[in-house]
Structure 1
Amino acid sequence: MSLKYKFLLFLLLFPVIIKAQAFRNYSNEFLSIGVDAAALGMSKAVVATTNNVNAMYWNPAGLAGIEDYQGSLMHASYFAGIANYNYAAFAMPIDQNSALGFSVIRFGVDDILNTTELIDGDGNIDFNRVSLFSAADYAFNVAYARNLIFKDVKFGVNAKVVRRIIGEFATSWGFGFDAGIQFQRNDWHFGLMVRDITTTFNSWSINETEFEKIKNAIPGQNQELPETTEITKPKVQLGVAKNFRIGRFFNLLSEVDLNIRFARTNDVISTDFASIDPAIGFQLDYERIAFLRIGVGNFQNTTEFDNSKSLSMQPNFGLGFIYKGIQVDYALTNIGSVGNALFSNIFSITFDYSFFRR
């Protein structure tokens, strides 16, 4: 997509991005996109079963299951390559009952045209005054997990620092916590994840000089500085899963998650108090070497042009394999819209150092 379209996208999103209000229904939404192609292939239905380095995102309690150093990398491009999502993580056991993890996420649109100074004070157009900037969101996470009284009960917490940058126009710092718990009994798995459990606070700093340029560039729009504080509401995810043995070589993992927001949305179940979006994922594996994954989620009530109602959903597909401690996964998914957003090819790689100690 050309630079001019990036700039148009920025002009559309800029008032939305920085108009922060207390207790927003949608805030820091880049943290809802998800990491790890294996999880995305199952429509993010992994809260009850995640158990490797990527658990610090999905449910930090799952970190307690790692036995050695692990690392993970993921890159994704969305909106036909206009936005890039990068993720890196590392985790290590502290002892037999606890583990520690670190991760960083960057979601950004780069090389956006800044044409606020395209026309000088005399009305002359000077393309040398056009510059480029980036709008990027960062999340830095530290997670801790441990087994509780019983080995089949795990608890984890994730502390996150959020940094958001919109060129020279505005920046923010945020801080919050996630917490999760997992319970396993035989082939059954249960999980609970609460994101932004203490609410996540973001404080914006607006560059008034740069904001004046935008105000002058778009007459009649953005005439007032936006508010500078936002607080993200907690979100709850519940999951239940079961393993099935199929024949001699195959295993089937199935999981159902309920994603709960405390706001009225277009989710399939919606009230003034909370809305629920279910997700269902399946993983068929051959001797824990090769994996086939499918999932469906993002169930939305959609209003058509003729005011009729319909139910839409988002399918997902994934493949993976493990070889000598290296797991490579692929997912065909999108950023969460079932409209005209293009599906993206997502790849991730996970390293488990325990293989090399054998």
Structure 2
Amino acid sequence: MKFNKLLIILLGITFLLSTTALFAGNRDKVGGAGAQELLIPVGSRAIAMGGASIAMVRGNEAMYWNPAGLAASHANAEVTFSNLQWIAGTKVNYFAISSKFGQIGTMGISAKIFDFGQFEQTTEFETEGTGIMVQPSIVTIGLTYSRQMTDRIFFGVNAKLVRESFMSMSTSNIAFDIGVQYVSSIGVRMGLTLNNFGPMMQFRGTDLQRKVHIPHTEIGASPVDLRLEAQNFELPSTFAIGIGYDVRINAQNMVTVAGNYLNKDYGLDELAAGIEYSFNNVFFIRGGYSGKVGGTSDENLFGFTTGAGIRYKIGGSALMIDYAYRTAKWFSGNQWFTVSMQF
């Protein structure tokens, strides 16, 4: 019977993958959206499975992947810290805390903070550097609400404050995520998310102001103030569907399989698939893959993922330590380190 259920899941994933040509993204819009930091993933477990987590994610990681999964957590409260070694020396720190509030639902707060380090300022007149050190700032703060609607349906919504600043220019915006998870009578989990929906963004600030001399004016004429207007840009909105299933081999061993299809409004769509082996719900080994639909070799910057984790009970609480690694073309691979405490 268990193998029949597994066969159903595998057929479902096959159908999901085979229909991708019908929903292929728009190559003409590649690079047409800003706020790309919203797409940089957090959490070691989900990314170690290739990001195929829309249907399976639970707990604080769900605030990024699918807010419906926050209420699906078995913990009453959870605190999470995650560090990502991104590309070109960039680091990303993620903090999250959540708690259940009875029949009201589950609420959580999260923050994703980028660390670019400092680098020397250059201008159109001083291309070798001015000697002034500058540091960009990108921060996303989220407030998540999630609730178990029935014994099989979970719903969640996430509101995010997105802020980018560089020197004397900045832009801020509000973005929203909506997610649903459904558990069938045979244990098949399905998920759906709409991510990063909100108004357009635009940089403003004194760095866009200049004093210029108008050509063909009298000698000695005073310069006039000129204000440049930055072009506004869209958020990187996405739609994702996923499916997954826990295959329990015996009381101690379990295998989880999952798949995602991610539709992008601004470029090529993506496919993801992942697997996790769990021993006694204490030790975990994971692997996965994600790639762009119809993308060339150069367009697939990332590929295979792997990772491991451990869950250690401390009284009525549990400490979880997870690690994930993802290959990256032209750069060193990405590494995620995540520590969570569940109560």
TM-score by length of 1: 0.75
In 2, distance between residues paired with 1:310 and 1:27? 18
Q: Name which of 82, 85, 106 aligns with 1:77.
A: 85
Paired residue type of 2:160: K
Q: Is the 8 A contact 2:86 2:335 kept in 1?
A: no
Q: Name which of 281, 293, 297 aligns with 1:288.
A: 281
In 2, distance between residues paired with 1:321 and 1:278? 27
In 1, distance between residues paired with 2:31 and 2:332? 27
SS at match of 1:203: coil
**How far is 1:339 from its partner?**
2.5
Partner of 1:19: none
Task: Check if 1:240 corresponds to 2:243.
Answer: yes
Partner of 1:162: 162
Gaps of 5+ in 2: 1-28, 213-225
In 2, distance between residues paired with 1:187 and 1:101? 26
Q: Is the 8 A contact 2:32 2:234 kept in 1?
A: no
Partner of 2:139: 138
Partner of 1:231: 234
In 2, distance between residues paired with 1:250 and 1:37? 21
SS at match of 2:144: strand
Deviation per CA, 1:98-125: give whole Å up to 9, x if none. Answer: 1000000012312111144996xxxxx9
Question: What's the Cα RMSD here?
Answer: 3.0
The correspondence of residues 81-92 of structure 1 with structure 2, limited to 5 A, is 82-92=89-99
Q: Name which of 313, 320, 330 aligns with 2:323.
A: 330
In 2, distance between residues paired with 1:30 and 1:212? 33
Deviation per CA, 1:204-259: give whole Å up to 9, x if none. Answer: 2132367789xxxxxxxxx9945242232531010010111124421011111000
Q: Is the 8 A contact 1:333 1:345 kept in 2?
A: yes
Paired residue type of 1:280: A
Evaluate the alpha carbon distance shift between residue 23 and residue 251 of structure 1 in structure 2; reply closer, same or farther with a 3 A threshold. closer
Q: Is the 8 A contact 1:107 1:138 kept in 2?
A: yes
In 1, distance between residues paired with 2:157 and 2:311? 28
Evaluate the alpha carbon distance shift between residue 312 and residue 132 of structure 1 in structure 2; reply closer, same or farther with a 3 A threshold. closer
TM-score by length of 2: 0.78
Q: Is the 8 A contact 1:24 1:233 kept in 2?
A: no
Evaluate the alpha carbon distance shift between residue 247 and residue 239 of structure 1 in structure 2; reply closer, same or farther with a 3 A threshold. same
Deviation per CA, 1:118-146: give whole Å up to 9, x if none. Answer: 96xxxxx9x8x512111121101000011
Gaps of 5+ in 1: 1-21, 120-124, 214-222, 268-275, 354-358
In 2, distance between residues paired with 1:154 and 1:136? 34
Paired residue type of 2:37: F
In 2, distance between residues paired with 1:313 and 1:229? 28
In 2, distance between residues paired with 1:340 and 1:65? 38
In 2, distance between residues paired with 1:23 and 1:201? 17
**How far is 1:196 from its partner?**
2.3
- Equivalenced residue count is 296
In 2, distance between residues paired with 1:208 and 1:30? 22
Deviating more after overlay: 344-353 vs 320-329: 344-353
SS at match of 2:71: helix
In 2, distance between residues paired with 1:105 and 1:313? 21
In 1, distance between residues paired with 2:211 and 2:253? 62
**How far is 1:23 from its partner?**
12
Partner of 1:41: 48
Task: Check if 1:68 corresponds to 2:67.
Answer: no
SS at match of 1:326: strand
Paired residue type of 1:52: G
In 2, distance between residues paired with 1:310 and 1:91? 36
Deviation per CA, 1:72-104: give whole Å up to 9, x if none. Answer: 101122235x21101000000011461000000
The correspondence of residues 94-105 of structure 1 with structure 2, limited to 5 A, is 94-96=101-103, 98-105=105-112
Q: Name which of 54, 57, 62 aligns with 1:55.
A: 62
The correspondence of residues 212-231 of structure 1 with structure 2, limited to 5 A, is 225=228, 227-231=230-234
SS at match of 2:170: strand
SS at match of 2:60: coil
Task: Check if 1:184 corresponds to 2:180.
Answer: no
